[in-house]
Homo-oligomer: A and B are copies of this chain.
Amino acid sequence: MTTVTEHLEALLERIVPVDTVTVPLSEAHGLVLTQDVTSPVDLPRFANSAMDGYAVLSSEIAEASPESPQLVPVRGDIAAGDGQPHTHRPGTCWRILTGAPVPEGCDAVVRVEDTDGNPHEVLIKAAVEAGANVRPAGEDVRAGAVILRAGTRIGPTQLAVLAAAGVAQVSVTGPVRVAVLSSGDELVPVGEPVGPGQIHDSNGPMLAALVRAAGHFAVHAGHLPDDAKAVSKEIEHHQDYADLVITTGGVSKGGSYDAVKAALTGAGSMEFTEVSMQPGKPQGFGLLGKREVPVFTLPGNPVSVLVSFEVFVRPALAARAGMRYSPVTMPAVVAQGWSSPEGRQQYHRVRLSRDVSGSYAAEPVSGPGSHLVGGLAQADGLAVIPAEVTEVATGSQVLVLPLRPVAEIEADLQAARQDGDGDAADGAGRGQGAR
């Protein structure tokens, strides 16, 4: 069997970022720059006042002090946004507001607190050094300087500097559009009634949410019947527009009902692989069609789907989006041991609490069955158990892949502590977010 690492490395080698597109700044949040961005302007764009006060030529008020204030005529007011070309006239000053352009010839601003605030003839009670309370043009960024490097993901503060510099559009690795397809004649979308032998599809909504929460676009979530020809046709349709396709189910040992495996065997570069992991052993991956769309065929059980997403699809999506990716794991102490199959890397659902030392304690939730979606919804993370380990001893340390935002887990743990019981052993008093 292929190891998790081998399978992941092999598939990541075949994934290239989607094409570069140019988007307006309003659509750039979360996308990755494909080119260095230089500022077309100085930032600040022009010397402006850091304070409300009076713009002066500092040498002209060098003798001013609280004991001997200096009376200076005020030529007028300059507000932020004032577009007039004001200049200094010797022996005078301008009243100026924060952010307003400092007039040509003035070199400092006296804070309003160091004056009597008079709008016509101001008593200045303190000398200032040249440059005081002035933000010089280009102090922050020089015109022509690189403000963001290629490879940077555009978050809120990156949007701020791009906007400040007036960069109205950027070249980015395009948004990754993902089609999610659940297979099986037994599946009915939630909201529609189920008949005998049928079940509601849970993989579709879960995967669409995982894709969105990872910052990508789940543009279609639909259904594949248990019919290989129909599956082929449907997937051909999605590979025309999607940047990545994820299917679930229909990939068991190759029975005639395993329509996804039957449809895709031999298609493009599809390969079906047994990976030495639990759950998630039957993995399929390949590039399909002339757009070479990466297609993942995941197993059908919800826990297998989730684990496969975390281990293989999430890094692949990041690569497709041009992002660097590194899984974050949280070390935890095992509060109650369990066993793990020999020769397979196990991903065990755990709930986290705090142990007496303040470390995370991991407690298994739910049984071993990968169809147990009820327990899955109670898990904070997946404990990653190396293939060579068969007994996960109580008290041993494991690494946990979080399934919820760490801040959310922390907030629940804090709520638990405030309830007066953050004890690991019974989980009582934990936040309401966990049972």
Contacts and interface: CB of A to CB of B under 8 A. Distances in A.
A243 interface: no
Interface in A357-394: 366-367, 369, 371-377, 379
Interface residues of A, number: 115
Contact of A411 (B52, B194, B324, B432): B324
A257 interface: yes
A139 interface: yes
Nearest to A152: B433
B257 A79 contact: yes
A196 B101 contact: yes
A205 B255 contact: no
B369 A139 contact: yes
A432 B150 contact: yes
Nearest to A44: B371
For the complex formed by this chain, how many copies does it contain in all?
Answer: 2
A24 interface: yes
Given A190-B168, A209-B156, A374 B406 contact: no
Contacts of A284: none
A166 interface: yes
Given A81-B197, A156-B306, 19 more contacts: A25-B191, A29-B213, A44-B199, A45-B199, A46-B197, A52-B253, A100-B197, A139-B372, A146-B435, A152-B433, A156-B206, A156-B210, A157-B403, A160-B205, A160-B306, A161-B202, A164-B200, A326-B415, A328-B407
A18 to B, nearest CB: 18
A98 interface: yes
A300 interface: yes
